[in-house]
A and B are shown apart, each in its own frame.
Chain A
Amino acid sequence: MTHDFQPVRPRMWKALLIAPALVMAFAGLSAPAWADRDPAYAAARAAGQVGEKTDGYLGVIGGGGDVRAMADKINIQRRANYTERAASQSATVEEYAFTQGCVLIQRTAPGEKYQAPDGSWQTRGAGAPQRDPRCP
């Protein structure tokens, strides 16, 4: 009887060590996108007041002037970021912004808003979002 338990114990120890490591690895992958968002911005996204446009910028769908001001501020920051990154990649700001938009729409969470290729606002469901056929 004790014979059988002998090889099981080291495996259990391994499992105990690996499981938290895996949990931390997954948490580490998904956490940064959420953790560093301004709470007001995160709330506006979750409420569907702002959404990701196909051109790589935020669009305002609802909410008051404060939501618009927040979106404008982020869009100005985004434009500065796109301009800098595009130059380093020898691409135009529009090309970089569009590609960024593809990935940002891909990474929207269920319930968040995004712009479909036809320009309409869509709520992200469980499946893949509607994206431009040129998106990677």
Chain B
Amino acid sequence: MMSPRLTSPVPPATSFGMRGRGKETSGRRASYALAMVMTGSMPLAGCISVNAPDKPIVIELNINIKQEVIYRLAEDVKQNIEANPDIF
């Protein structure tokens, strides 16, 4: 009887994951789990934590005043002080 001869070498029947020596979680599954945990934690590292401010929120009512208007009025307000020194 002739022993069968393989035409090409084949990889072993056991994969990396199968060599877990009977552990509950095989090596492949463990590596998958690790990858899942890592990908899951990556967005967390980039997260910006938003906390409620401890100070009251101040709404700036003068925000609609434009700087160009202020610059236009700058000279007149100075003259106003000279013209009405009693109220300033």
A positions within 8 Å CB-CB of B: 32-33, 35-38, 54-55, 74, 77-78, 81, 85, 89, 91, 94-96, 98-100, 102-104, 107, 118-119, 132, 134-136
**Is A95 within 8 A of B81, CB to CB?**
no
The 8 closest A-B pairs by CB, nearest first: A36-B85, A136-B74, A99-B73, A100-B77, A134-B67, A77-B87, A36-B86, A99-B70
Give complex CA distance A134, B37 in Å. Answer: 50
Give complex CA distance A74, B86 in Å. Answer: 9
**Is A134 within 8 A of B73, CB to CB?**
no
**Chain A interface, DSSP helix/strand/loop, else mixed:** helix
The residue among A37, A74, A94, A99 with the most chain B CB atoms within 10 A of its own CB is: A99
Chain B hits for A132, CB < 8 A? 62
Chain A hits for B62, CB < 8 A? 54-55, 94, 98, 132
Chain B hits for A33, CB < 8 A? 81, 85, 88
List B residues 9-67 near A (Cβ within 8 Å). Answer: 58, 62, 65-67
Known A-B contacts: A94-B62, A95-B69, A102-B77. Give 16 more (CB < 8 A): A33-B81, A37-B86, A89-B76, A91-B72, A91-B73, A96-B76, A100-B77, A100-B80, A100-B81, A118-B58, A134-B65, A134-B70, A135-B70, A136-B70, A136-B71, A136-B74
